[in-house]
Amino acid sequence: MYVLGVTLLCLSIPSLLDSLTPRNSLIPLKGTLESCDINILTTLGKGRFRSEPKSREAELTFYLYEFKKKFTITENIGSEYRHVPYSIIRKRLNQADSITVWIEKSQLEDWEPKVFQIESEKGLILDFETKQMVERPLAVFLVLGAIVCILFPTYFFYPKLFGR
């Protein structure tokens, strides 16, 4: 149980850090769109007799002429075959004359930095707050699961710590 708790805690750290990223640690990269594409990736799981589709993930990838970087946002879409919000984002990116992508300062030299916000001269395309709200439930779930997995056995094996 402790191992599971520690594992969940370790898995929650990246999600927790992303959801708690302050706006002042982000920098804008402004450029013009080179290309934009949506890919639907299928993850396979073991079925009874063969590999079966487990779930699908939508991945929106775009490049800017001014930067040699791959900007990607992904989201699990379950068993759907297309992702309408990413289609809307792609359409708005293709209509924009210039695009500003907000990334963390520490990822400025990375090939594939994490995208926190996208905006154009016509307005916001992907909001910072919306992006963070997607990460928070997963982080909270993993942290709570870790706490339960660590405290539950501790409560029974070391009752004096809890005044029993």
Q: Give the pLDDT confidence of 103-122 residue by residue, as tens digits.
A: 989 898 999 998 888 999 98
Q: Give CA separation, 65 vs 29, 102, 113, 164, in Å.
A: 11, 16, 16, 65
The set of residues, in sequence order, having a beta carbon less than 8 Å from that of 32 and lying 6+ positions away, is: 64, 65, 66, 97, 98, 99
pLDDT score, position 55: 76
Beta carbons of 30 and 100 less than 8 angstroms apart? yes
CA distance 9 to 38: 32
Judge whether residue 134 has pLDDT over 70.
Answer: no
pLDDT in tens, 42-93: 877 666 666 666 778 889 999 999 999 999 988 877 777 777 888 888 999 9
Beta bridge partners of 124: 119
CA distance 83 to 56: 10
Confidence bin at 19 (pLDDT 50/70/90): low
pLDDT score, position 112: 92
pLDDT score, position 74: 85
The pLDDT mean for the chain works out to 81
- pTM confidence score: 0.70
CA dihedral 41, 45, 50, 53 (to 10 degrees): -40
Q: How many CB atoms lie within 10 A of CB 124?
A: 14
Q: How many CB atoms lie within 10 A of CB 123?
A: 8
pLDDT score, position 100: 94
Confidence bin at 126 (pLDDT 50/70/90): confident
Judge whether residue 20 has pLDDT over 80.
Answer: no
Judge whether residue 27 has pLDDT over 80.
Answer: yes
Confidence bin at 2 (pLDDT 50/70/90): confident
